Chains A and B, each alone.
Chain A
Amino acid sequence: MSDLGSAPVPPPGPTDHVRGPGDATLVIEYADFECPYCAALSARLAALRLRRVFRHFPVKSSHPRAWAAACAAEAAALQGCFWEMHDSLFADPARLEDPHLWERAAVLGLDLERFDAERRSEAVRARVKADFRSGIRAGVVTTPCVFAGGASYAGRAAIAALDALDGEG
C-alpha cells in the first residue's frame, strides 16, 4: 500500500512528458482529456512561451472516457507520439470512443495493433495512475490544476494565472 499522504508536487523527471524551451517558465499541469476547461487551458498554453509538463488526472465519474483517453496518449507515447496524441485529443475532445482513438492513432501513423494492445496494458494504466497519485498527494482536487512559480491554480483560475506568467516569460 503506497502512500497517498501530502507531498510536494514532484519536479520534472525522466518519465514526464515535457515540451517547450528549457529556459522558459516551468508549468506543471494536471489535466483530463475529457475536461473542457483542460482543453481551453491547453490552447492557451500552446500560445505562450513556457516549459510544459503534462500529467494525467482522469476522473472517471465525471468523465467516463478520461481514462481511455489518457491510456491512448500513453500508448502513443510508447511510439514517440505523446504530444501529437495530446494535441489531437484536445483539438476534438468529443470523439473519445474506441474507433475514434484508432482513427487518431492511424492519422499519426502509429502501429495500430501495438497501440491497441499497449493502451489496454497494465504498464500504461500504472503510468497514468502514477500521475494521478502524485496529483492527489500534491492536493489536486479538480482539473485543470497548474503548478507554477511555487503556487497552484485550479479550474478557471489556472487560465488567468497563465496570463500573468506570460508577462514574466
Chain B
Amino acid sequence: MSVIAAGEPAPQFTLKQEDGEPFARADLEDRTTVLVFYPFAFSPVCTDQLNLYEEVLDEFAARGATLYGVSCDSSWSQTAFREQLGVSIAQLSDFEPKGAACRAFGVLHEGGFPQRALFVIGPDARVRWSYQAPSPGDLPGANLIFDALAD
C-alpha cells in the first residue's frame, strides 16, 4: 500500500466527526485541510504530537488551513483524549468500517491502526503534500506542514 502522493485527487472516504456527523471527501472542497493520521489516542508520541500542533494552531488558521486528527479510535475515545490533552484539534474517527479511510489514503498499518502520516489537501480536493513518518514512533515537526502550506 502506498501513500496518496502530491498531485493525486483525495480518495472517496467517510470519517465520523466527534458529534457523529460524517466528514467525507466533499468536506475537503473550497478550503485547505491538514489531516494528521496518528496511531492511537492516549499513546505517548501522539500526545506530544497533538500538543505540539496545538501550540501553532492559530498559525495554521492564519494560512487558511484547518487541522484534524484522524485515528481508528472511536469518537468517544478521541473526545476523551482531546479533552485530557486540553487541545482543540477536531478529531475524525475511522472506527467503522475500521481503517477504511486509512486504507483509502494508503496509510493503514498492517497492525490495524494508522501510520503516522500527514496530508495537506487543497480546495480542489487534491493532495498538495503527503508525508509518512519512517516509523509510527517518529514525530514529524510542524515545520514540515508549514513548508507544505507555503508551496
Contact = CB atoms under 8 A, between A and B. Distances in A.
Interface of A: 1, 3-7, 59-62, 64, 132, 136-142
B49 A4 contact: no
8 contacts: A4-B142, A61-B85, A61-B86, A64-B86, A132-B55, A141-B48, A141-B142, A142-B52
Contacts of B150: 3, 5
B143 A5 contact: yes
Interface string B31-67: 0000000000000000111111011100100110000
A64 B55 CA distance: 12
Q: Main secondary structure on chain A at its contact with chain B?
A: loop
Nearest to B142: A136
Interface residues of B, number: 24
Given A141-B52, A142-B52, A5 B146 contact: yes
B6 interface: no
B19 interface: no
B97 interface: no
Nearest to B48: A142
Nearest to B138: A141
